[in-house]
């Protein structure tokens, strides 16, 4: 029986190294040598806990045009958002979403709930006001399911006064 086992598995680690090379352990081969902890690609650990920060999506990092991004709230929760220029009317065409006005230095200038009716005069006035305050983009978070989750996202992402 042992001869049959050796015939099927010629690279047995219990055999002497004189007759046959040692079997490579797959996990040993895949593991890199022990080194310092690698620096994260997008600086996930760089920011302080409790700080709102933008976390670009890794899947879209290679694209020239940024269509999507993600924000990490004070709670640590992640919010994926679509990116629009501040003057793009499509950003205000969504109903029941969270709107984030973002400055060129990647800070949230203002945030609000779009409400259930989409485009209205109040949203247009808000867009004009945030553009004058320095916002260059509007990020639209579409994934908040109800009013309570939109309010929670606003509280988590709202810029501090």
Do the Cβ atoms of 71 and 53 come closer than 8 Å? yes
A 10 A CB-CB count for 97 gives: 23
Query: What does the pLDDT read at residue 41?
Result: 40
104: closest CA among 117, 85, 123? 85
Query: What does the pLDDT read at residue 39?
Result: 40
Tokens coding 89: 């009317």
Query: What does the pLDDT read at residue 29?
Result: 53
> Helices (DSSP H) in 19-78: which residue ranges?
26-30
Query: What does the pLDDT read at residue 120?
Result: 75
> Helices (DSSP H) in 34-120: which residue ranges?
none
Quote the pTM value: 0.66
Distance CA 138, CA 103 (A): 9
Do the Cβ atoms of 101 and 135 come closer than 8 Å? yes
Query: What does the pLDDT read at residue 116?
Result: 81
pLDDT beneath 50: ranges in the chain: 34-42, 44-45
């Amino acid at each position: 029986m042992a001869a049959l086992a050796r015939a099927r598995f010629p690279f047995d680690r219990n055999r002497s190294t004189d007759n046959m090379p040692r079997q490579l352990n797959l996990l040993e081969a895949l593991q890199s040598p022990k080194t310092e902890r690698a620096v994260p690609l997008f600086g996930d650990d760089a920011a302080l806990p409790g700080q709102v920060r933008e976390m670009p999506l890794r899947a879209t990092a290679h694209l020239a045009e940024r269509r999507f991004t993600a924000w990490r709230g004070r709670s640590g929760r992640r919010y994926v958002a679509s990116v629009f220029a501040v003057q793009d009317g499509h950003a205000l065409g969504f109903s029941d979403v969270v709107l984030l006005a973002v400055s060129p230095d990647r800070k949230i200038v203002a945030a609000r709930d779009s409400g259930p009716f989409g485009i209205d005069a109040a949203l247009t006035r808000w867009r004009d006001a945030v553009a004058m305050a320095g916002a260059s983009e509007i990020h639209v978070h579409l994934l908040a399911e109800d009013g309570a989750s939109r309010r929670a996202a606003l509280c988590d992402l709202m810029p501090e006064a």
